[in-house]
Amino acid sequence: MAEAYRRLAEPYKVLLALAFLGLLVFLSTALLWGSQHEYVTVGSVIILYNLGVSQDLMEGFKSFSNVDIRFVVRGTGDLMRLLSDGSICVAFTASPYLESLYMSRDAIEWHGIFAYSYFIVAGPPGDPANVSGARSLAEVFERIYRAGERGEAKFVSRGDLSATHVREVLVWNFTGLNPEGKQWYVRTAQGPVQTALVADNMEAYLLMDEGTYIALKSQGKIRDLKMLYTNKSDPLNLYVASIVSSKNDACKGLRTFILELRDYIMGPGQAVIEEKYSPQGLLHPAKGREEELRKAWESLSKIGG
Amino acid sequence: MPEPLHAIIFRSIYISSIAALLAFIVGLFIVVFLLKAPARVSRNALGVFEGLVGIPPIVVGVFMYMLLYPGGPLGPLRLLYTPTAIIIGEFLVALPLAVVFMHRPLESLWRDLTELVESLGAPKSKAVPLVLRESPPILLTAYLVSFSRAIGELGVALIVGGGIEGVTNVMTTAIALETSLGNYEVALKLGIILVLIAVSLILVLRLAGARIVEAA
């Protein structure tokens, strides 16, 4: 009987030893990770990450400091929440309404418009609503509305309170037409890339920013979607950098670093955007147009909710 | 993709295997406790675990976030966006599965073998070594199921891991990011690799497990 017990115990000893080994590895690595050197967690909206702007700005800044940078890629709503919690220390976002909401609660600080892009209307190459002949964004939307009512066109909306969506709502309001609940009006509640892909597959129209269109087209991710309307005098899509509130204890040891980062983005970082992204029309630096962009942001921030 | 694929794969396997191991060990203690407890207690407790089997990992992720964010009760530990945070979250996700997958078979094994031992006129305690001998395949299955659940979940890895390249980017967060960037081909490739890893790892462990059982 004792012999049987001894033999039976063998696999259990192996299992137990494995279990302890695993625990040991787990605890030691947990400790190791905890003592790793300083890093700052930066949040970026999908659009800027897809273009590579966030990474370029942080890479450029890295040469000034030895702090590691870690990226979290989410939508603006998520990022604002994470920033106000102190889970991330810096955020690159694009939604005036959501940004102003968190600013009014004093949950985030410094709100620097560092870049902008133009809005365009893209749609099926056949252009059933004939928007390419329109003279203003409002006229484009009116034509899409009429074509939609005739059952000849569809429109895809972000529906996520992003800058693009807010701009779209403003234009609908301006025309006095309400597409809500119409058969031809689709909401994706998703990011810029997903929404463009949906429009491409549905042969629908959408409002989007020029940078995303150019990037997706050159990456071959959209097939038919065509840029049908663009007007450089129309309002702009704004990209904003914010930092965690100084009242928040999180990121406290990184304060100097974060302030240096701010100076970098508004200073040398502007040249990075100018040289690398402006020529292709992907994104333009805010430098020189600060006042105008600030006003545009303020008018956009009132729409939402 | 800036981060090499093998780094993401190894990180996924490392994190999920530890999470599954923790779920397995704690689950085993819970099962032993439930087997000893009065039938009414164990039945209700098991019902709770069965209900938790299908819990969306994202709910566990948000719950963990509320504990771990800098202002949360466990904020000072600075665990948010670390592999440790994913391990703890995936442990919670896999635990109910580990318990349910061990409890039923071990319970029926215990019942059958005590009946057998008693019918032969021996005391109940003589059934213990017999149960021990028969249980390794059950335990192995419970561990492997926990591992599958851990490596395939996204919610926890995304919310408390953050999908940070070089630190917490695992297969599922990489798939989610590539999808949001419209890189469906890359996402699909990663998905196929994820399935292949899970299946082949389980096959290998099963074979090894069968060897151990035979050797015993």
Q: Is residue A30 part of a domain?
A: no
Give the domain-ending residue among A178, A198, A230.
A230
Helix and strand tally (H, E) in chain B? 9, 0
- The two beta strands, A185-187 and A155-157, are parallel
Q: Please tell me the distance from the alpha carbon of residue B19 to that of residue B152, in angstroms, as a whole number.
A: 12
- Average pLDDT over all residues of chain B: 90
Q: Which residue in B147, B164, B213, B214 has the most chain A C-beta atoms within 10 A of its own C-beta, making it the best mutation to test that interface?
A: B164
Q: What is the CATH number of the domain that holds A151?
A: 3.40.190.10
Number of H helices, E strands in chain A: 12, 10
- Interchain CB distance below 8 Å, B81 and A87: yes
Q: Which of B25, B139, B182 sits opposite A193 (nearest CB)?
A: B182
Specify if A25 maps to a domain.
Answer: no
Q: Long-range pairs for A137-145 at CB < 8 Å and ≥24 separation?
A: A137/A171, A137/A229, A137/A231, A137/A234, A138/A171, A138/A174, A138/A175, A140/A228, A140/A229, A141/A171, A141/A172, A141/A175, A141/A177, A142/A175, A142/A177, A144/A205, A145/A175, A145/A177, A145/A179
Rounded distance, CA B188 to CA B172, Å? 11
d(CA B176, CA B184): 10
* Residues 6+ away with beta carbon under 8 Å from A97: A161, A166, A300, A301, A302, A303, A304, A305
Cβ(A187)–Cβ(A161) under 8 Å?
no
Q: Which of A13-22, B53-62, B81-90 has the lowest mean pLDDT?
A: A13-22
As a three-state string, the secondary structure of B135-190 is CHHHHHHHHHHHHHHHHHCCHHHHHHHCCCCCCCCCHHHHHHHHHHCCCHHHHHHH
Domain assignment of residue A53, yes or no: yes
Closest CB to A11: pick one of B136, B167, B183. B136
Please indicate, yes or no, whether residues A112 and A261 belong to a single structural domain of this protein: yes
Q: What is the mean pLDDT of residues B99-124?
A: 90
Quick check: A70 and B82 CB within 8 A?
no
**Contact of A210 with A117, CB cutoff 8 Å:** yes
Q: CB-based contacts of B130: which residues, under 8 Å, 6+ apart? A: B113, B116, B117
Q: What is the pLDDT of residue B166?
A: 87
Instruction: Please indicate, yes or no, whether residues A82 and A151 belong to a single structural domain of this protein.
Output: no
Q: Rounded to 5 degrees, what are φ and ψ at B153? A: -85, 150
Cα dist from A11 to B108, B134, B193, B208, B210, whole Å: 22, 12, 32, 12, 11
Residue B147 maps to which CATH number?
Answer: 1.10.3720.10
Which residues, in sequence order, are CB contacts of A235 under 8 Å at separation 6+? A119, A167, A296, A299, A300
Residue type (1 letter), B103: H
- CA B124, B130, B134, B139 torsion-angle sign: positive
CB atoms within 10 A of CB B130: 18
Contact between residue A262 and residue A113 where contact means Cβ atoms under 8 Å apart: no
Instruction: Give the residue numbers spanning the domain of A76.
Output: 39-117+236-301
Per-residue pLDDT at B23: 96
Residue located via tokens 């099962």: B31
Shortest CA gap B209–chain A (Å): 10
Backbone angles phi, psi at B5, to 5 degrees: -60, -40
Whether residues A225 and A279 fall in one domain: no
What pLDDT was estimated at residue B17?
Answer: 93
Contact A73, A44 (CB under 8 A): yes
Instruction: Please indicate, yes or no, whether residues A108 and A251 belong to a single structural domain of this protein.
Output: yes
Give the residue from A230, A265, A283 where a domain finishes: A230
Give chain A positions within 8 Å (CB) of B215.
Answer: 10-11
What pLDDT, in 10s, does the model give residues B161-215?
999 988 899 999 999 988 888 888 899 999 999 999 889 878 887 787 777 666 6
Q: Could you tell me the two tokens for A170? A: 């403003």
> Are both A75 and A218 inside the same structural domain?
no
pLDDT string in tens for chain A (305-residue length) = 456 555 555 556 666 676 677 677 766 666 555 555 678 899 999 889 888 898 888 888 877 777 788 899 988 888 999 999 999 999 999 888 889 989 888 888 878 899 999 999 999 999 999 999 899 999 999 999 999 999 999 999 998 878 888 889 889 998 999 999 899 999 988 888 989 999 999 999 999 999 999 999 998 889 899 999 998 877 788 999 999 888 888 888 788 888 888 888 888 999 999 999 999 888 999 998 889 889 888 888 876 64
* d(C-alpha B144, C-alpha B154), whole Å: 18
Query: With an 8 Å Cβ cutoff, are A11 and B18 in contact?
Result: no
Spatial separation of the C-alpha atoms in residues A226 and A249, rounded to whole Å: 48
Mind listing the pLDDT tens digit for each residue in B27-51?
A: 999 999 998 889 899 999 999 999 9
Q: Does some domain include residue A204? A: yes
Name the residue range of residue B142's domain.
5-215
Residue A63: the pLDDT is: 75
* A193 vs B69, B129, B180: nearest CB: B180
Using the beta-carbon criterion (under 8 Å), do B164 and A25 form an inter-chain contact? no
Q: What pTM does this model have?
A: 0.82
Alpha carbon distance A159, A134 (integer Å): 24
Please tell me what DSSP assigns to residue B120.
Answer: T
The structural domain count of chain B equals 1
> Of A206, A230, A254, which residue is a domain's last?
A230
Q: Are residues A174 and A158 in the same domain?
A: yes
A220: left (phi over 0), alpha (psi -120 to 50) or beta: left
Is residue B164 within 8 Å of residue A71, measured between CB atoms? yes
Q: Contact at 8 Å (CB) between A120 and A208? A: yes
How crowded is residue A187: how many other Cβ atoms within 10 Å of its Cβ?
Answer: 15
Look at the alpha carbons of B211, B196, B167, B18 in this order and tell me if their dihedral is positive or negative: negative
Give residue A248's pLDDT: 83
Does residue A189 sit in the same domain as residue A165? yes
Provide residues of B within 8 Å CB-CB of chain A.
Answer: 17-18, 21-22, 24-25, 65, 69-71, 75, 77-84, 87, 129, 132-133, 136, 139, 162-167, 177, 179-183, 212-213, 215-216
User: Which residues face A90 on adjacent strands?
Assistant: A42, A243
Structure tokens at B13: 């396997």
Residues A108 and A241 in one domain: yes
What contacts 24+ positions apart, CB below 8 Å, involve B195-201?
B197/B9, B197/B12, B197/B13, B197/B151, B197/B171, B198/B147, B198/B148, B198/B151, B198/B152, B201/B13, B201/B147
Determine the pLDDT at residue B11.
Answer: 94
CA distance A282 to A56: 14
Contact B70 A41 (CB under 8 A): no
> What ipTM was assigned to the predicted interfaces of this complex?
0.78
Residue type, A134: A
The answer to whether residues A102 and A73 touch, using CB atoms and an 8 Å cutoff, is no
Contact A122, A213 (CB under 8 A): yes
CA distance A145 to A139: 10
Candidate from A5, A87, A193 with C-beta closest to B69: A87
- How many separate domains does chain A show? 2
Judgement on whether residues A107 and A163 belong to the same structural domain of the protein = no
